[in-house]
Chains A and B, each alone.
Chain A
């Protein structure tokens, strides 16, 4: 149980375009989903927390107009990187929490490369 999927697993896009990443909880309802960014050999950096049906809460320094988060249902959250630039290239990971405990279950990650 507690499986989280992410799609796509990797994507290459041109500078200036937008990319959407999906995060789904497959076998449970996620009251809260989190989006992280990870650079090589570094820890996970929390970007934002999203609760179903409400606006995401962004961490300091994360541009909400650039990283659009939508949590439309209890099993789906999306992250859209708008007007992507090479510096946005990174490993993006989502996680989901049931709400019954603080345990977070992570997706497999999405590697974004902006050329």
Chain B
């Protein structure tokens, strides 16, 4: 199946800092999804991207669908403690796969 490489694996940042994480694929995707998972809960959809080059925001979150359709970026601005969690990228098709996740820790 399609492989998704997500980086970084973990991040430790200070409250107020901006965060950037990315996801790359060996194959072309027509859709990119970004999820956040809090401990002991199911993932929650943050942003969905449908078009190459698309830049979409959801509050302090901004995600971009790479021009090559093989990558995507998620940025979080002015991080706050509740941003803590694991962020997953997903490239869905008939064969759904998730990246390994980026574990974010925000220090107050």
Contacts and interface: CB of A to CB of B under 8 A. Distances in A.
Contact of B48 (A43, A93, A103): A103
Contacts, number: 51
A20 B92 CA distance: 27
Q: Which of under 10, 10 to 19, 20 to 34, or 35 or more describes the interface residues of B?
A: 20 to 34
B interface secondary structure, majority: loop
A42 B101 CA distance: 8
Main SS at interface, chain A:
strand
Given A44-B98, A46-B97, A102 B43 contact: no
A93 B88 CA distance: 15
A40 to B, nearest CB: 10
Interface stretch (A71-79, A82-90, A106-114): A106-114
Interface of A: 4, 6, 34, 41-44, 46, 49, 91, 93, 95, 101-109, 111
